[in-house]
Structure formats: C-alpha cells, structure tokens
Amino acid sequence: MNLEVNHLSVDLSHKGIVKDVSLKVEEGRFVGLIGPNGSGKSTLLKAIYKVLSPREGVILLNGEDLVRTRPRLIARSMAVVGQFNELDFDFTVREMVMMGRTPHKTLLEQDTTQDFEITTLALAQVDLAAYADRSYQSLSGGEKQRVVLARAIAQEPKLLVLDEPTNHLDIKYQLQVLSIVKKLRIGVLAALHDLSLAAEYCDYLYVLHQGTLVAEGEPEAVLTGDLIEAVYDVGCKTYTNPVTGKRDVSFFPRP
C-alpha cells in the first residue's frame, strides 16, 4: 500500500500553512516527518486523513484519489493516531479498541469471535491487556494514547498515519510504541518531534520548515548539524550512538 502526496498546499484562515509539499510512503517503510512546532506537520497529516481540505495538490493511496474516496473505504486501508484523544462519552478500553473493527463490518453486523481475538491481541501489544474493562476516561494521557494505538492496530491497516504518537508517554512507552509500529511492517507516516527517535526508527525523513519541504533522505543524510541548526534555531552536535549505531543529536542554546 503506497501513499503519494503531490504538490499539496493547505490554507488555514486564508494563510498558507503547507506549501507545495510532495512526499511518498512505500509499502513497509517507516517515514518520518520532522520540523519545529508550527512547521505544518499536523496540518499536512490532517489533509492526508481528510480532516482538512487542500487548496491544491493530489493525495493518492495505491493510485486512488483520497479526496474523492469514501471515508469508510479509506479506513479499511489507513488508520490514524492523532495527538488529542479526549471523548465526551465514556467507553471501556475494550470497547474503544473494538471500534477499530468498524470499517470491516456492515451497519448492523455483530462483533465476532475473530473481532474479539484481534482486539485482545492489540491490547496485549501495547501492554494494556489488564486494562480491558477499565473506563477509558479514567486513564492517564499516555495510557489513552496506547489505547488509541491499539484501536488502530485492531483496524488492520496497510498504512498508519501517526501525529506525534509519543506525546504524553514515558520513555519506556515511547520506545515500546515505536517498536510495535516498526514491527507491523506496514507503511507508516509519522510526525515526530524527538530527533533521536526519528533517527532510530525511521527509514526515511522529510523535513518541514515554515510549511515548505526543505530536506529529505535517510536519517544519516538528513540529520546534519547545519540543517538542524538552520531549521530548529539551536546549536547541536551529531554523533553515532554507541549503543544503537544510529545517528543521534544533542542540543544546546546558541550563544
């Protein structure tokens, strides 16, 4: 399942937020979208999963125009984990994750044994099997984020879109969540703010700055001191992490 974004521009309140951005996610590739706050990462992702309408450009999922495709059909192939996961109504954790099965069912179709098995497995993958009967509203922000990821896993997508998926998570669960996503071996497009995590888990990176794509490539090529200093307006040193063997970054204030 391949995603192609061609010359996408998105406006908010008559202001250009995303400007002529093109990118692609090939099947099985973990692609990261990085850049400082306000660079347009979330706006770009919202256009991809149809919360916002682009002013210009085309978004294709396996060659099909997403703008013209019914949401239910998209949901059978693409799942989304957003930044904010508050609800006005309460559900149990199991009920929340079971919602991931909805795109695969007809309107009045009952939940099956297979649905329950998929839901149980998804909860186990995010280390929340013991929370199945808990109230979703009673959970911490990080626990809610893991429930929403489990719901996305239960959806059995071929493409996963993640908007800051490690927000609110302790370090242990940041690593766990991204490891789980990596092991799914499906296409992933993730907006990430932690450059060390981006270097560790992403196969390819796109860098946004003020709504414009300013760099792309494998992490080793993209995460250079010059680029990070220019985009993030900080001093930095890049080095090879002796444990992971991957590019890593340390920051310090500019004089």
Tell me, yes or no, whether 214 lies in a domain.
yes
Model pLDDT, residue 168? 76
Model pLDDT, residue 71? 87
Tell me, yes or no, whether 36 lies in a domain.
yes
Model pLDDT, residue 244? 85
Tokens of 253: 């204030």
**The Cα angle at residue 21 between residues 20 and 26, in degrees rounded to 5:** 150
pLDDT digit string, tens, across residues 22-80: 999 999 999 999 999 999 999 999 999 999 999 999 999 999 999 889 888 999 999 99
Q: State how many domains the chain has.
A: 1
Model pLDDT, residue 86? 74
Model pLDDT, residue 178? 93
Of the CA atoms within 13 Å of residue 254, those in its CB half-sphere come to 9
Tell me, yes or no, whether 250 lies in a domain.
no
Tell me, yes or no, whether 239 lies in a domain.
no
Tell me, yes or no, whether 231 lies in a domain.
no
Q: Strand pairing of 204-209 and 187-191?
A: unpaired
Tell me, yes or no, whether 153 lies in a domain.
yes
What is the side-by-side strand order in the sheet with 212-217?
Answer: 78-81, 159-163, 187-191, 30-34, 204-209, 212-217
Range of 211's domain? 3-223
Q: 44 and 80 in contact (C-beta within 8 Å)? A: no
Tell me, yes or no, whether 168 lies in a domain.
yes
Tell me, yes or no, whether 108 lies in a domain.
yes
Averaged pLDDT in 10-residue chunks for the chain of 255 residues: 96 96 97 96 95 95 91 92 78 96 88 95 95 94 90 96 88 91 95 94 97 96 93 91 87 83
Q: 100 and 136 in contact (C-beta within 8 Å)? A: no
CATH number (domain holding residue 7): 3.40.50.300
